[in-house]
């Protein structure tokens, strides 16, 4: 998601006007109106302010000392997919997972408390992926039972919508990302193992755009700045690759020279800061990050995770990661666990 530190109020009007005319590709799909999505011309824009003064965050290096211990996510749940997590406010986490029977389950962490799991139904056939694109605004994407299309459900601040069919032929869980107010996109692996993108430009859905590549996992995408997107995938050789939208064009696929045993997860915690996560050969959560000029890592964060990780940042120098875990003795699912970093 577009993180808290990005949306300073001085730039808000400029961002919204700029994006109104931005486009990645041809129009091929329609979408509900802004009113149906709960959007208005005065979009909800997150700000980072202290005592009325806008501040550029001081970004800290990610070190082991800043990581808390692994902890269980409360609430009895039989998770049947990797989790998803997004945020639209400081110290707030919105966690999603597919439950027993395929229902989309949702839990909020805010004010130091967990809300408990809520059942949104849906009959999911994949892990969900969710992104916040404004204050108290979220979109979730998933495959549904009996369909290879990508489906979309959104939160307008008061209620969840009905499921919307975005079409496509997906062979992986989706990856959601927001790169600006009222902008949200979804990436998937297609039937030809290439990466495809659909996105909402503030008025309509545009789909599906072919990004080539040879994927062996679901993609993972994050936005490290306004009108910027970085996507990561696992390739046919199990190595991780990156493709970047720099505000004007997409780069070619970049071989990162490392491998993983799961789909990656990615989060941005400051301008030009990107953290990459993957499950390693030993089953632990591995992490490396881009400090603005080079990659730092890897570090082993433990966890004995049983799924792809899901990570997010609610502001500068914050990271929260979630995954399924297994009992090391009986090798059985033990629900969701969380580990967080504060710089």
Query: How far is 4 from 50, CA to CA, in rounded Å?
Result: 13
Cα Rg for the chain, rounded, in angstroms?
Answer: 18
Given a cut of 80, is residue 64 above it in pLDDT? no
Per residue in 199-228, pLDDT (tens digit) is: 999 999 999 999 999 999 999 999 999 999
Question: What's the pLDDT score for residue 258?
Answer: 87
pLDDT band at 332 (very low <50, low <70, confident <90, very high): low
pTM: 0.83
| CA separation for the pair 228, 243 (Å, rounded) | 11
Please name which of 59, 142, 150 lies closest in space to residue 99, comparing C-alpha atoms: 142
Specify whether the CB–CB gap between 147 and 125 falls below 8 A. Answer: yes
* CA–CA separation, 41 and 152 (whole Å): 22
pLDDT, one tens digit per residue, over 42-54 is 222 222 222 222 3
* Per-residue pLDDT band at 22 (split at 50, 70, 90): very low
pLDDT in tens, 131-148: 999 999 999 999 999 999
DSSP character at residue 305? B
The whole-number pLDDT of residue 208 equals 96
At 55 the pLDDT is: 52
Of the spans 5-14, 18-27, 157-166, which averages the highest pLDDT?
157-166
pLDDT digits (tens, 9 = 90+) for 73-101: 998 788 999 999 999 999 999 999 999 89
Q: Which residue has the tokens 């389950």?
A: 105
157: Cβ–Cβ under 8 A, 6 or more apart, which residues? 38, 135, 136, 137
DSSP for 157-191, written as a single string: SS-B---EE----BSS--EEEEEETTEEEEEEEBT
d(CA 183, CA 131): 10
CA distance 323 to 84: 9
- Residue 28: pLDDT over 60: no
**What pLDDT, on a 0 to 100 scale, did the predictor assign at position 328?**
61
In this structure, how many other beta carbons lie within 10 angstroms of the beta carbon of residue 173?
27
- How far apart, in whole angstroms, are the C-alpha atoms of residue 124 and residue 110? 26
DSSP state of 146: T
Q: How open is the CA angle 13-14-19, to the nearest 5 degrees?
A: 105
Alpha carbons within 13 angstroms on the beta-carbon side of residue 99 total 16
Is pLDDT larger for residue 165 or for residue 304?
165
CA distance 186 to 264: 15
* pLDDT value for 256: 93
What is the C-alpha to C-alpha distance for residues 105 and 76, in angstroms, rounded to an integer?
11
Let me know: does 122 contact 169? Beta carbons within 8 Å: no
Q: What is the predicted pLDDT for the residue at 63?
A: 72
pLDDT at 189 over 70: yes
Return the SS3 of 147.
Answer: coil
What band does 62 get if pLDDT is binned at 50, 70 and 90? confident
Mean pLDDT of 170-192: 96
In angstroms, rounded to a whole number, what is the distance separating the alpha carbons of residues 144 and 131? Answer: 18
**Over residues 249-271, mean pLDDT:** 94
Query: Is 35:121 a contact under the CB 8 Å cutoff?
Result: no
- Positive/negative CA dihedral, 28, 32, 37, 41: positive
| pLDDT for residue 89 | 95
Task: Report yes or no: 131 and 138 within 8 Å, Cβ to Cβ.
Answer: yes
- Tell the burial category of 114 from Cβ atoms under 10 Å away from its Cβ (0-12, 13-18, 19+): middle
Question: What rounded mean pLDDT belongs to the chain?
Answer: 83
Residue 153: what pLDDT?
98
Least confident of 11-15, 246-250, 270-274, 289-293: 11-15
Distance CA 142, CA 43 (A): 26
- Give 16-55 as a DSSP string: HHHHHT--SS--------HHHHT--SS------EETTEE-
């Amino acid at each position: 998601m577009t993180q808290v530190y990005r949306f300073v109020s001085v730039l808000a009007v400029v961002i919204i006007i700029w994006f109104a005319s931005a486009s990645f590709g041809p129009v091929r799909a329609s979408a509900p109106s802004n009113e149906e999505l709960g959007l208005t011309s005065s979009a909800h824009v997150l700000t980072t302010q202290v005592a009325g003064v806008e501040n550029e965050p001081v970004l800290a290096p990610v070190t082991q000392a800043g990581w808390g211990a692994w902890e269980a996510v409360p609430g009895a749940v039989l998770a049947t997919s990797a989790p998803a997590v997004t945020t639209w406010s400081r110290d707030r986490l919105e966690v999603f997972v597919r439950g027993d029977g395929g229902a989309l389950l949702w839990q909020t962490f805010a004010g130091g408390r967990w809300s408990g799991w809520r059942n949104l139904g849906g009959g999911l056939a994949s892990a969900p992926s969710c992104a916040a694109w404004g204050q108290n605004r979220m979109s979730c994407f998933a495959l549904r039972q009996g369909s290879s299309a990508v489906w979309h459900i959104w939160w307008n601040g008061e209620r969840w919508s009905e499921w919307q069919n975005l079409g496509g032929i997906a062979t992986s869980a989706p990856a959601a990302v927001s790169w600006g107010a009222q902008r949200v996109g979804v990436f998937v692996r297609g039937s030809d193992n290439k990466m495809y993108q659909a996105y909402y430009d503030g008025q309509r859905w545009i789909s599906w755009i072919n990004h080539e590549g040879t994927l062996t996992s679901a993609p993972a995408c994050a936005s490290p700045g306004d009108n910027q997107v970085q996507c990561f995938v696992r390739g046919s050789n199990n190595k991780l690759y990156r493709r970047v939208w720099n505000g004007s064009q997409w780069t070619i696929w970049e071989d990162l020279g490392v491998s993983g045993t799961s789909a990656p997860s990615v989060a941005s915690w400051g301008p030009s800061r990107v953290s990459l996560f993957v499950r390693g050969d030993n089953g632990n959560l591995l992490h490396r990050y881009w400090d603005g000029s080079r990659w730092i890592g890897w570090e082993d964060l433990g966890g004995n995770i049983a799924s792809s990780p899901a990570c997010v940042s609610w502001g500068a120098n914050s990271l929260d990661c979630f995954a399924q875990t297994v009992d090391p003795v009986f090798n059985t699912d033990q629900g969701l666990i969380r580990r967080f970093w504060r710089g």
